[in-house]
Amino acid sequence: MKRVIIAFILVILVGNPVAVYAASGLPFRDGFESGNFSAWLPGGINGFSVSSGDHQTGSYAARGVSIMGQTTDYYMDRPFGDHPQAGGVPIGNGVYFKFAHKYDTGFDLGSTQNYNKIFLMNFEDPNNLRRDQVIFEIAVNYNNGSRRGEYIFEPTHWNPDGSWLSGSLAFQNQGTPVKYREGQWDLVKIYIKPNTPNVANGILKLWVNGVLKADHTDVNMRFTSNNLNLAIIGSYVTVTDVAGIRWWDDIQISETDPDNPAPGVKYPNPPDDIRVDP
């Protein structure tokens, strides 16, 4: 009977990957209903706040402000997995990021930058330094502005000293590319499956308002062996001709599809005749 007990314990510890192997800090969801950024690590807060002035769900959303004639730098960090500030189990496969985003009517993207960042996903090393990064953003002046307003991805790579290494772009490749809708909330879902380091076999998918718009299976999004472990919301603009208000709401990060979550894993029923031999 001792063997039966040991086997049952092993089933609980090994046979329940959701309970034992789920990445630290996941699943995560925040709709800012606390009225603040308490679920996030503070970053640059100038121009960033939680407000009841607009929202996609609930009563609050994150509100970012860019002022004409000034540079913009506000953001919030959410570490997970084996990030040094999450300190735990790394992701085991891919990760879904789902959120709502809105540019207020009259938002000015300016004319002197190429892209406008919305959501960043980092592969950070044990020293809390970004080494690889996937940026979800709006094309502004790429290709003489022919893609202005389109949602795109920008996988980027960084040296250990923090200097720029290289970057590339991944466009929508399913149907007609969509652009952000000024004054309206867009619901965005991203799926990232990291590639083998420096091998172009990573997966990058994008859904906008429930429609698949990008499906890439050959992305070299990481040169290093660091895991995907940090999400960033906010805006960083070094030019001064961008102005307006933006919003983020109902942010979800999970290892299963938030629109089709895996069924809960249940512990097996224990044998009903267990007893310990004397």
**Which CATH number is associated with domain 26-254?**
2.60.120.200
pLDDT at site 182? 97
pLDDT at site 44? 75
Per domain, the residue ranges of the chain are: 26-254
**Do 72 and 237 form a contact (C-beta atoms < 8 A)?**
yes
Query: For strand 202-208 and strand 186-193, is the pairing parallel, antiparallel, or unpaired?
Result: antiparallel
Closest alpha carbon to 130 in 157, 153, 93: 157
**Do 227 and 91 form a contact (C-beta atoms < 8 A)?**
yes
For residue 113, the cross-strand partners are none
Altogether, the residues listed in the chain come to a count of 278
pTM of the model: 0.87
As averages over each run of 10 residues, the pLDDT of the chain (278 residues) reads: 40 41 92 97 88 97 97 96 95 97 98 96 97 98 92 98 96 98 98 98 98 98 98 96 98 97 50 36
CA 271 to chain centre: 42
